[in-house]
Structure 1
């Protein structure tokens, strides 16, 4: 309680209340950016972190026997589709298993992310098609016609 100069008691608030107009809300923290949007050193650093997670967490626990029906490439980082999918899987893992995550986070990660991504990556027609243990096979991007089937983009004034 505080006493004002008139002697009346008033309820004190600690810290003193401030209107939202006086103090703007802080911007939300910037989360990690998707790896395909990165370049240079920032891309290299994210790829390094992804590689550590993939080699020390994902593959030792969830890597299974490599067969023609379930291929894996030992140079997976050279397949952009694999990098994109693994990065998304890693971001979901960090969010659902890190400090402050819900107790059911790991179960949700397994249910919602792991199986689908690993099945997509290890599909015989997936990004590692043609790769065999100790043998990487580069993929070429499909050709894109110079003419857009929808016509040229509209002109900007």
Structure 2
């Protein structure tokens, strides 16, 4: 799963995010947050489709904001979201990681 960093840093952050705060967090090291990557990937795929007027008409961008961007940002930027341990100019390495399911083995080990 890949989301282009150029899209996040060049389109999403400057054009769609308000200033980070305790109620609306953002991590400048978002690439180190697997949950953020998954959500941003989905948001990017929707943006690709809905920003093309030939494919979705003139209302595509509005639909993208309503149905994709806003729900994605609510989840990512929530106080209990993946950026919970990060502040405006700070990044905490000790993020909450899901525990392994008992009996499950990683393919590499």
Report TM bin, short chain.
0.7 to 0.9
| Number of aligned residues | 102
Structure 1 length as normaliser, TM-score? 0.60
Match of 2:61 among 96, 102, 106: 106
Partners of 1:57 and 1:70 lie apart in 2 by 18
Equivalent residue number for residue 73 of structure 1: 27
1:100 shift after superposition: 2.4
Corresponding position: 1:141 with 2:80: no
Deviation at 1:98, TM superposition (A): 2.5
- Please report the TM-score for the alignment, with normalisation by the length of structure 2: 0.84
| Cα offset, 1:143, TM superposition | 2.1
Work out which of the two has the higher radius of gyration on C-alpha atoms and give 1 or 2. 1
Output the aligned Cα RMSD: 1.7
Q: Give the deviation of 1:99 after TM superposition.
A: 5.8
Give ranges in structure 2 of 5+ residues lacking alignment.
105-109
Relative CO higher for 1 or 2, CA cutoff 8 Å, sep ≥ 6? Answer: 2
Structure 1 spans left out of the alignment, 5+ residues: 1-34, 36-45, 149-157
